[in-house]
Amino acid sequence: MASAAIPLPTRRQAIARLTLALAAPALVALIPMAVASALPAMARDLAPGRDGAFFAQMIMTMPAIMLILGAPAASIACERIGIRTTFAAAAALFTVAGSAGLLLSGFTALAATRLLLGLSGGALQTCTLALVGRWYAPGGRERVLGNIVSVSSAAAIGGLVLGGRLVDLFGWRGAFSLYLLGVPVLILVLLAVERGVAGERPPRGGSLAALKPLMLYYALILAFTLAMFMPGIQGPFLVAAKGIEGAATAGLIVAACPLGATLSSAMFAALRARVDALPLLAATALLMGAGCLIAAAAGGAPALLIGFAVIGVGAGLVEPNIGSTILGRTPHALHARASSIMISAMFIGQFLNPLAADPLRTALGANGAFIGVGVATSALGLLLAALAAFRRSAAPC
């Protein structure tokens, strides 16, 4: 059972904490999106006279695997040296490793810094969630978690647009300047995060046992992540299968998903105040499942937009709902560890999406991949709805 949130001492401190809680996850959203527009120019420079697309795509995606590892590593560091020190080190590493592309050349050097960037991203997410659990009581916590997803989704879109503009002005290296935004976040960490808070280190023994009741939620967020990344990873194939041409058009259609997530996550606190966590999880799965099926049945761009937007509406409720539940069921000393497992599960789900969906796409086409994931996710939603109804009927009057 979580202890009460630490009171906010001053209004200035409260503003600094909220700004930090929203800004740090937004940095993580920039990790892939800041350089997405630079890929074609980077490909020509990294492998002149050859097809450099593979090298450029690897530069973009390499941080993902280290995000999976960075979160649990950060939780250990938080318990050993404190959240403030870990958070500051992560922000500094993000700035240095991310902006290294302004100076470094060659695939090997860029790849090494991108791996370090992913490590810092996992740490930034873990420290943020641990502090949200410490700083905010239920009610305020749900509002902050919903806003985190909204701001991160907006940052992803903004990074894509601004990164493209920087590439047009300064070449592919220009996009790497966006990672210098880690500097103000580092300053916020030093201003907002307390030193040596009592109860920050977990007691020896029993920590893993305390997290066992949360395994269902970790499994759910992994399964949900498989569905929420269908538009981003499998969507372009579906758009092409529908006969819709043009990269710009495809990008706009796929962008309906993060736009839907931005809207729903902003409304999460109001929804959670009226609906319990489990029924909301059921609705989340049903929304994403229905969105996949709508997209598969779409005959053109308008229906595809609707399908991807519905998936996004469901996706925007996943992280704040499960994150709120996990933080509410663990003591402050275990918030970093509990959050790190959730973050790793999310990125593992992203990594597993092609392994789960590609066999369906190969055998049944892009429509078949969306139908298969849609049916499975809808079935999970019905199961969760039945479980919620059973718990409600079994509860004492």
pTM of the model: 0.81
- Residues 147 and 225 both lie in one domain: no
In which domain, by residue range, is 52 found? 9-193
165, 193, 221 — which closes off a domain?
193
- Residues 154 and 234 both lie in one domain: no
**pLDDT at residue 196, rounded to an integer:** 67
Q: How many CB atoms lie within 10 A of CB 64?
A: 18
167, 193, 219 — which closes off a domain?
193
- Residues 185 and 213 both lie in one domain: no
- Residues 81 and 140 both lie in one domain: yes
- Residues 159 and 302 both lie in one domain: no
Q: Does residue 37 belong to any structural domain of this protein? A: yes
CA 191 – CA 35 distance, rounded (Å): 30
Query: Is 338 exposed, middle or buried, given 0-12, 13-18 or 19+ CB atoms closer than 10 A?
Result: buried
- Residues 31 and 99 both lie in one domain: yes
Mean pLDDT (whole number) for 131-159: 88
CA 140 – CA 6 distance, rounded (Å): 12
Mean pLDDT (whole number) for 171-182: 90
Lowest mean pLDDT among 74-88, 154-168, 183-197, 201-215: 201-215
Per residue in 66-95, pLDDT tens?
A: 888 899 999 889 888 889 999 999 999 999
143, 171, 193 — which closes off a domain?
193
Mean pLDDT (whole number) for 22-44: 82
Per residue in 7-24, pLDDT tens?
A: 555 888 889 999 999 999
Q: Does residue 180 belong to any structural domain of this protein? A: yes
Select the more confidently predicted residue: 43 or 261. Answer: 261
- Residues 224 and 307 both lie in one domain: yes
- Residues 177 and 297 both lie in one domain: no
Average pLDDT, the chain: 84
- Residues 40 and 97 both lie in one domain: yes
- Residues 214 and 185 both lie in one domain: no
**3-class secondary structure per residue, the chain:** CCCCCCCCCCHHHHHHHHHHHHHHHHHHHHHHHCCHHHHHHHHHHHCCCCCCHHHHHHHHHCHHHHHHHHHHHHHHHHHHHCHHHHHHHHHHHHHHHHHHHHCCCCHHHHHHHHHHHHHHHHHHHHHHHHHHHHHCCCCHHHHHHHHHHHHHHHHHHHHHHHHHHHHHHHCHHHHHHHHHHHHHHHHHHHHHCCCCCCCCCCCCCCHHHHHHHHHHHHHHHHHHHHHHCHHHHHHHHHHHHCCCCCHHHHHHHHCHHHHHHHHHHHCHHHHHHHCCHHHHHHHHHHHHHHHHHHHHHCCCHHHHHHHHHHHHHHHCCHHHHHHHHHHHCCCHHHHHHHHHHHHHHHHHHHHHHHHHHHHHHHHHHHHHHHHHHHHHHHHHHHHHHHHHHHHHHHCCC
Q: Does residue 2 belong to any structural domain of this protein? A: no
Q: Does residue 161 belong to any structural domain of this protein? A: yes
Phi, psi of 344, rounded to the nearest 5 degrees: -60, -40
- Residues 186 and 272 both lie in one domain: no
Q: Does residue 233 belong to any structural domain of this protein? A: yes
- Residues 31 and 179 both lie in one domain: yes
Number of domains comprising the chain: 2
Q: Does residue 1 belong to any structural domain of this protein? A: no
Per residue in 347-365, pLDDT tens?
A: 888 778 777 777 887 788 8
CATH number at residue 135: 1.20.1250.20
**pLDDT at residue 299, rounded to an integer:** 85
